[in-house]
Amino acid sequence: MKARALAALAGAWLAAGSAPGVAFQADPASLLPSESDLQSWRPNGTIQRYQGDDLFAYIDGGAEIYNEYGFRRVAVRDYAGPAGKTLTLELYEMSDAGAAFGITSFKVSGKGRPAGVGRDSQLDDYYLNFWKGPYHVTLTGLDGAPETIAGLLEVARAVDRKIKAAGERPALVARLPREGLRLEAVRYLRGWLGIFNHKGYVRVDAYRFREAAVGEYRDGRSICLFGYAAEEEAGLAFGRLREALKAGTGYRNPASEKDGGFRIETAAGRFLHLRLQGDLLVLVESESAAPPSERLIE
Over range 278-291, report the average pLDDT. 93
What does pTM read for this prediction?
0.87
Rounded average pLDDT over 84-104: 97
The CATH number of 2-162 is 3.40.1000
Secondary structure E strands in the chain? 42-51, 71-80, 86-94, 119-124, 127-132, 135-141, 187-189, 211-216, 222-227, 251-256, 262-266, 271-277, 280-286
| Cα distance between residue 206 and residue 209, in whole Å | 9
Q: Residue 203: its pLDDT value, please?
A: 81
Instruction: Note the CATH architecture for domain 171-297.
Output: 3-Layer(aba) Sandwich (3.40)
Q: Rounded CA gap, 49 and 41, in Å? A: 21
Q: Is the pLDDT of residue 291 over 70?
A: yes
- The pLDDT value recorded for residue 7 is 39
pLDDT at site 26: 66
Closest CA to 37 of 188, 161, 171: 161
Greater model confidence, 147 or 291: 147
Percent of the chain's residues with pLDDT above 90? 75
pLDDT digits (tens, 9 = 90+) for 137-179: 999 999 999 999 999 999 999 999 999 988 999 999 999 999 9
Same fold for the domain at 2-162 and the one at 171-297? yes
Which stretches of 186-290 are DSSP H helices? 192-199, 231-247
- Angle, helices 97-107 vs 192-199, to 10°: value is 30
List the domain boundaries for the chain: 2-162, 171-297
Note whether 182 and 110 are within 8 A (CB).
Answer: yes
Residue of 154, 176, 162 whose CA lies nearest to 133: 162
In this predicted structure, the answer to whether residue 6 has a pLDDT above a threshold of 50 is no
| 275 or 204: which leads in pLDDT | 275
